[in-house]
Amino acid sequence: MRHRRRHAPSAPPRALPDPALHARVLAATAALLAWATALPATAGTLARVASPGGALSVIVESQHEHRLAYRVERNGEPVIAPSRLGFLLGDGRLERNLELVGQTQRSFDETWEQPWGERRLTRNRYNELRARFAEKAPAGKDAGRRFDVVFRVYDDGVGFRYEFPEQPAMDEVRIRAELTEFALAEPAGTAAWWIPAFEWNREEYLYRRTPLREIGTAQTPLTLRTGEGLHVSIHEAALVDYAGMNLARGDGDVLRAALTPGGDGPAVIRATPFATPWRTIQVGARAGDLAESSLILNLNEPNAIGDVSWFVPAKYVGVWWSLHLETETWGSGPRHGATTANTKRYIDFAAANGFRGVLVEGWNPGWDGDWFANGWGFDFTRAMPDFDLRGLARYAAGKGVHLIGHHETACAVSHYERQLPAALDLYARNGVDVVKTGYVCDAGDIQRQDRAGGPVVREWHEGHWMSNHHLRVVEQAAAHRIAINAHEPIKDTGLRRTWPNWVSREGARGMEFAAWADPPNPPEHEATLVFTRMLAGPMDFTPGIVSLQGRNGRPLRSTLAKQLALYVVLYSPIQMVADLPEHYARQPEAFRFIQDVAVDWEDSRVLAGEVGQYAVIARKARGDGGEWFLGGVGGGQPRALEVDLGFLDAGRRYRAEIYRDGDDAHWERAPFAFVRQTREVSADDAMPLRMAAGGGVAIRFVPLP
Ligand code: NOJ
Ligand code: CA
């Protein structure tokens, strides 16, 4: 966000939403150049729009048989070669005989404020092209089908979507497939980091790095690096009432949208008018440019739920890691984790250390036996007999602590929805203002039942029906002043801008894989996530396993310092302090950083990094303290680098509290080799950083008087 300093907003930032302000900004900055010309739809350029700073351009073309294509240039060089647009609909293809019947352009520039986030102020500045298309009237009809394609071109990327106006020729649109293509201009030398789509374990796969031409069907965000070193990410924004988009390699090296199928019909059924989600292409010279980009958030609508000051970004502990270690159980019995006495222990630990939340899993009936297979047995309105929800909520409140709720659905999603109002009431009455939801089942096995006793339809986690389910949960939760953190979620497409109570989610391999998975998360996993999964939005990764051991002593591929770095590197407004209280007691020095680190940020910068190798991120805490934090994570090999501390506020001196790998640290041989030291620094300094194999570094910068 370097431009933030150069373009300070003229008015002081204020709480959103404010439609009046929005409209004023629009009126003040929108240069509306409208013309409606019917151009002959011959092959060639139909329209062109450049980004405000001129770096990126989109060109819309007509091709053979009057098909549509767009291409993208960066500084005059092709990034995306001509790529087709269109649909496979219930009543036939919508891709040929398309004529441009009008186009308008406008410019937009606003700076908006995130209620919480990785930066407070976000500049949303783009040039927009709206191109209107009509199909030649088929024989015997007065008019063909019509739609618009809207392009928003930023200096760091492009978003475009289809908009279907209300029209006699199409009152309902049944989308079997989207034919949108993304054809990289230089496919031969392009590397891709991706996880497969439509596999049983949803998003919980290790990222693979392959040449572009070895992609099968990938989920988004998909990260690419061209032979020239340009970084590109393809994803989507504002996935509302639509199916999630994957990318399949089609003819040659062209990537084509592969919509998540519907359970019992086409991928998407919508009545006109409606708009698709934005298809996004982020472009940057550095890997860090992708991670700093706000394109996905900017393409979402402003806050729709009003004041969310009731949501407090915070750290939380919980009855959780012990369940994954199998020293305690979700189900009832002698090792039941969610007992009143055990939860009190966590509340005491949270209160003593300044952590706001206590998550408790296994608190409700339904976990006994094979819970994976018994989603219809979950009860979200009652607690187990050995868990006194009311008493614990009161006990926690007395110490300034809040219970965090848990709704594991095991994919019986309709069963969950029927209980949702009562379940949220129960939590709200007990001061629970964050709920972790869960959708554990194989991909494609979500159970939807439209009426009690009716047939059960199997849906995908990222299908059209689930996109609506998640928003039903988020909207009902907002009405109860409850924030949602979804596990096994639908992908993040920036909806936290519109629904800022959708605070975090999983959607990748998190820390749980270190407890029990084979293979475990490798040392480079987090340095990959920063430039892949994290481009979508916050992740509830659940860091801070300072024992560095999973189930039965299996080693984490991590040093102690790296566990601290994760709090800065992997952004989430709720961060778990995931290990057991007794394990933190054995690492008091490292624990200090976990106590001190902030969770809500004024600004964030990626100082250095390469996809899948390392990432160094600096963030300034929100509020008056003026503290900065730095986190660095490496990969399987040691890495030394120097970072410029120019991000620190000029003219100030800071005490740098450095938590680093010891000189002989190594995730396997010496994971606990660890040094805490302090130094005085200022923005004029550079600082050498060294990360061991599987290592990392964490620094707190405290301004000196
Ligand atoms: C998977 C989630 O990711 C994990 O955090 C949770 O403990 C289990 N499901 C049980 O809900
Ligand atoms: Ca999971």
Q: Which ligand is nearest to the CA of 508?
A: 2
Q: Is the pLDDT of residue 688 over 60?
A: yes
- Tens of pLDDT along 460-488? 999 999 999 999 999 999 999 999 999 99
Counting from 1 in the atom list of ligand 1, the atom nearest the Cα of 488 is 3
Question: What's the chain's average pLDDT?
Answer: 94
What DSSP letter does each residue of 571-622 carry, written as one string? Answer: --SEEE--S-HHHHHT-HHHHHHHHH--SSEEEEEEEEEETTTEEEEEEEES
Q: Which residue has the higher pLDDT, 43 or 546?
A: 546
Q: Is the pLDDT of residue 288 over 90?
A: yes
What is the three-state SS of 633-651? ECCCCCEEEEEEHHHCCCC
Q: Is the pLDDT of residue 361 over 90?
A: yes
Which residue from 322, 408, 442 has its CB within 8 A of the most atoms of ligand 1, so it is best to mutate?
Answer: 408
Is the CB of 181 inside a 6 Å radius of any atom of ligand 1?
no
Task: Over range 136-161, report the average pLDDT.
Answer: 94
Measured CA to CA, the distance from residue 152 to residue 105 in angstroms comes to: 10
pLDDT band at 138 (very low <50, low <70, confident <90, very high): confident
**Structure-token match 């998550």, residue found:** 359
Counting from 1 in the atom list of ligand 1, the atom nearest the Cα of 408 is 11
Task: Over range 264-283, report the average pLDDT.
Answer: 98
Nearest CA to ligand 1 atom 3: 487
Which residue from 328, 407, 440 has its CB within 8 A of the most atoms of ligand 1, so it is best to mutate?
Answer: 440
Q: Is the pLDDT of residue 411 over 70?
A: yes
C-alpha 620 – ligand 2 centre gap (Å): 30
Counting from 1 in the atom list of ligand 1, the atom nearest the Cα of 323 is 7
Nearest CA to ligand 1 atom 2: 487
Residues 129/103, Cβ–Cβ less than 8 Å: yes
> How far is C-alpha 270 from the geometric centre of its chain's CA atoms?
25
Topology given in CATH for the domain delimited by 44-299: Beta-galactosidase; Chain A, domain 5 (2.70.98)
Q: What is the pLDDT of residue 40?
A: 39
C-alpha 429 – ligand 1 centre gap (Å): 24
Is the CB of 438 inside a 6 Å radius of any atom of ligand 1?
yes
Is the CB of 487 inside a 6 Å radius of any atom of ligand 1?
yes
Could you give the residue numbers annotated as active site?
512
C-alpha 438 – ligand 1 centre gap (Å): 6
pLDDT band at 252 (very low <50, low <70, confident <90, very high): confident
Q: What is the pLDDT of residue 11?
A: 35
Q: Residue 420 — φ and ψ, nearest 5°?
A: -55, -50
- Tens of pLDDT along 233-249? 999 999 999 999 999 99
Which residue from 512, 521, 540, 575 has its CB within 8 A of the most atoms of ligand 1, so it is best to mutate?
Answer: 512
Closest of 270, 266, 277 to residue 176, by C-alpha: 266
Is the CB of 492 inside a 6 Å radius of any atom of ligand 1?
no
Counting from 1 in the atom list of ligand 1, the atom nearest the Cα of 506 is 3
Which residue from 361, 521, 540 has its CB within 8 A of the most atoms of ligand 1, so it is best to mutate?
Answer: 361
C-alpha 580 – ligand 1 centre gap (Å): 16
C-alpha 506 – ligand 2 centre gap (Å): 7
Counting from 1 in the atom list of ligand 1, the atom nearest the Cα of 406 is 11
Nearest CA to ligand 1 atom 10: 408
Q: Which ligand is nearest to the CA of 324?
A: 1
What is the three-state SS of 453-483? CCCCEEECCCCHHHHHHHHHHHHHHHHCCCE
Q: In what order do the strands lie in the sheet with 483-486?
A: 502-505, 483-486, 434-438, 402-408, 357-360, 314-319, 574-576
Q: Which ligand is nearest to the CA of 509?
A: 2
- Tens of pLDDT along 304-334? 999 999 999 999 999 999 999 999 999 999 9
Residues 361/320, Cβ–Cβ less than 8 Å: yes
Task: Over range 115-121, report the average pLDDT.
Answer: 98
Measured CA to CA, the distance from residue 586 to residue 588 in angstroms comes to: 6
Residues 446/413, Cβ–Cβ less than 8 Å: yes
- Tens of pLDDT along 575-627? 999 999 999 999 999 999 999 999 999 999 999 999 999 999 999 999 999 99
Q: Which ligand is nearest to the CA of 375?
A: 1
pLDDT band at 10 (very low <50, low <70, confident <90, very high): very low
Closest of 181, 175, 182 to residue 94, by C-alpha: 175
Counting from 1 in the atom list of ligand 1, the atom nearest the Cα of 510 is 3
Is the CB of 512 inside a 6 Å radius of any atom of ligand 1?
yes
Measured CA to CA, the distance from residue 195 to residue 231 in angstroms comes to: 17
Is the CB of 328 inside a 6 Å radius of any atom of ligand 1?
no
C-alpha 200 – ligand 1 centre gap (Å): 16
Nearest CA to ligand 1 atom 7: 320
pLDDT band at 397 (very low <50, low <70, confident <90, very high): very high
Q: How far is CA 336 from CA 53, 345, 357, 396, in A?
A: 59, 14, 20, 20
Q: What is the pLDDT of residue 43?
A: 57
Measured CA to CA, the distance from residue 299 to residue 150 in angstroms comes to: 12
Nearest CA to ligand 1 atom 6: 438
Residues of the chain with CATH 3.20.20.70: 359-507
Q: Is the pLDDT of residue 29 over 50?
A: no
Residues 61/46, Cβ–Cβ less than 8 Å: yes
Counting from 1 in the atom list of ligand 1, the atom nearest the Cα of 542 is 5
359-507, which class in CATH? alpha beta
C-alpha 66 – ligand 2 centre gap (Å): 46
What is residue 179's three-state secondary structure?
coil
C-alpha 510 – ligand 1 centre gap (Å): 10
Q: Is the pLDDT of residue 5 over 50?
A: no
Is the CB of 440 inside a 6 Å radius of any atom of ligand 1?
yes
Nearest CA to ligand 1 atom 11: 408
Q: Which ligand is nearest to the CA of 517?
A: 2
Q: Is the pLDDT of residue 9 over 50?
A: no
Counting from 1 in the atom list of ligand 1, the atom nearest the Cα of 320 is 7
Q: Which ligand is nearest to the CA of 323?
A: 1
Q: Which residues pair with 164 in a beta bridge?
A: 274
Strand blocks (E) in 662-704? 674-682, 686-691, 696-703
C-alpha 398 – ligand 1 centre gap (Å): 28
Is the CB of 178 inside a 6 Å radius of any atom of ligand 1?
no
Residues of the chain with CATH 2.70.98.10: 44-299
What DSSP letter does each residue of 525-575 carry, written as one string? Answer: HHHHHTTTGGGT---------TT-B-GGGPBPS--HHHHHHHHHHS--SEE
Host H or E run for residue 119: none
Is the CB of 203 inside a 6 Å radius of any atom of ligand 1?
no
Q: Is the pLDDT of residue 552 over 80?
A: yes
Among the ranges given (85-89, 249-253, 310-314, 641-645), the one the predictor scored with the smallest mean pLDDT: 249-253
pTM over 0.85: yes
C-alpha 487 – ligand 1 centre gap (Å): 7
Q: What is the pLDDT of residue 383?
A: 98
Is the CB of 361 inside a 6 Å radius of any atom of ligand 1?
yes
C-alpha 437 – ligand 1 centre gap (Å): 9
3-state DSSP percent of the chain in helix, strand and coil, to 5? 20, 35, 45
Q: Is the pLDDT of residue 13 over 90?
A: no
Is the CB of 524 inside a 6 Å radius of any atom of ligand 1?
no
Q: Which residues pair with 68 in a beta bridge?
A: 62, 85
CB neighbour burial string for 367-400, b if at least 16 within 10 angstroms, e if fewer: bbeebeeebbbbebeebbeebbbeebbebbeeee
Task: Over range 640-665, report the average pLDDT.
Answer: 98
Is the CB of 506 inside a 6 Å radius of any atom of ligand 1?
yes
- Express as a percent the part of the chain with pLDDT over 70: 94
